[in-house]
Amino acid sequence: MQINLQKYYKPELDNKILIELSKKSDLKGLAHVGLYFTLLFLTGYMAYFTWGTAWTVIWFLIYGNIYNFVNAIWHETSHNTAFNSKKLNSIFFHLSSFMAMFEPTRWKFTHFVHHRDTYSTKDPYDHEILYGNDLKNTPKLLLINCIPFADIFFIKGHISFEIIQHAFGVETKVLKDSIPENAKKRSILISRIYIFLWLLIILFSVVIKSWLPILFLLLPIFYGKTMHRLVAFAQHGGLARNVKDHRLSSRDMHLNPILSFLYWKMEYHCVHHIFPSVPSYNLDKLYKHLESQLPKAKNGLIDAYKDIIPALMKQKLDPNYSIQIKLDSNETVTA
């Protein structure tokens, strides 16, 4: 059987199973965000309780790394699959967007492009893979994005700088490429609201003469990003660009229960790209139904990076290189 890379791949799946797994649940969504924010509160309390001691550094790192996984809530609510209730999806979408420093209008539209044209370097450009298209610099940028506070020294490449640009009315490439004219004003307005809220947090810290509000609400994105960045980059790192077949551009992984919870099972990323309407809390079940039809999932982050790191080194020299994915023995690839 021939594979046309410019056609989307759909595995065989009983429609009854798809309908069942596509059911959304307020209870499951609330259980997840409830436990997530409970963990965030408890680790934040420990960081506060140990303030002034060496232990606070450890607790803030734990808090920050949990904090950054709010991105998983943003992602699921952007698909309107976290909850059955549209109102709950909207509330947590805007809350998690602010926490992650993701201006929601921009990311709603770019995420649509990301699903339709994953890892595209052409028109449309996949603006969601922020450090995946410049392959010569990707290893350096990945390292910067994993070292706490490192991206403050490269602030022009950080998502917060984009918000500042939009707030001042600068028409960035992402605004030109991805945001419809009738939505640009909303993106600019929300960017200005974000900056206003950031300034309020800073002002509050100055008034009470404490770094704590800034450390808890603004800086976690900079100091607690390591684990989330490693997991998120593994979604597509080293894989094929400019193809429609998501088996070649997206990766499935098995993660340990803690990471899987924090990431809301989005490690089954190829499955998610093929069936984006299935809530994340059902992705592991969906993967089991499709396992025989998809590339073998990586057994954790270490297993994934055994492929990714050599691929990044090769892509520095040859931008056309990508990890070769083993498909069914009867399938052949055509450009």
The domains of the chain are located at 2-334
Give the whole-angstrom CA distance, residue 151 versus residue 78: 26
Contact 280, 72 (CB under 8 A): yes
Q: Is the pTM of this model over 0.75?
A: yes
> Tens digit of pLDDT for each residue in 204-255?
999 999 999 999 999 999 999 999 999 999 999 999 999 999 999 999 999 9
Q: What is the DSSP letter of 241?
A: -
Q: What is the mean pLDDT of residues 8-35?
A: 96
pLDDT of residue 134: 73
Hey, what are 198's tokens? 């950031």
Query: Looking up tokens 């309107």, which residue turns up?
Result: 80
List the one residue out of 45, 66, 2 whose CA is nearest residue 223: 66
Q: What is the mean pLDDT of residues 57-76?
A: 98
How many residues does the structure list for the chain? 335
Within the chain, residue ranges assigned H as helices are: 15-21, 26-49, 55-68, 70-78, 86-100, 104-116, 138-144, 159-167, 173-178, 181-208, 212-217, 220-223, 226-233, 246-249, 257-262, 269-274, 283-290, 301-317
pLDDT of residue 329: 54
pLDDT of residue 319: 86
> Tens digit of pLDDT for each residue in 292-322?
999 999 999 999 999 999 999 999 889 889 9
Give the whole-angstrom CA distance, residue 48 versus residue 40: 12
Q: What is the mean pLDDT of residues 132-156?
A: 86
Residue-wise over 253-288: b if at least 16 C-beta within 10 A, else e? bbbeeebbbbbbbbbbbbbbbbbeebbbbbbeebbe
Residue type, 98: F
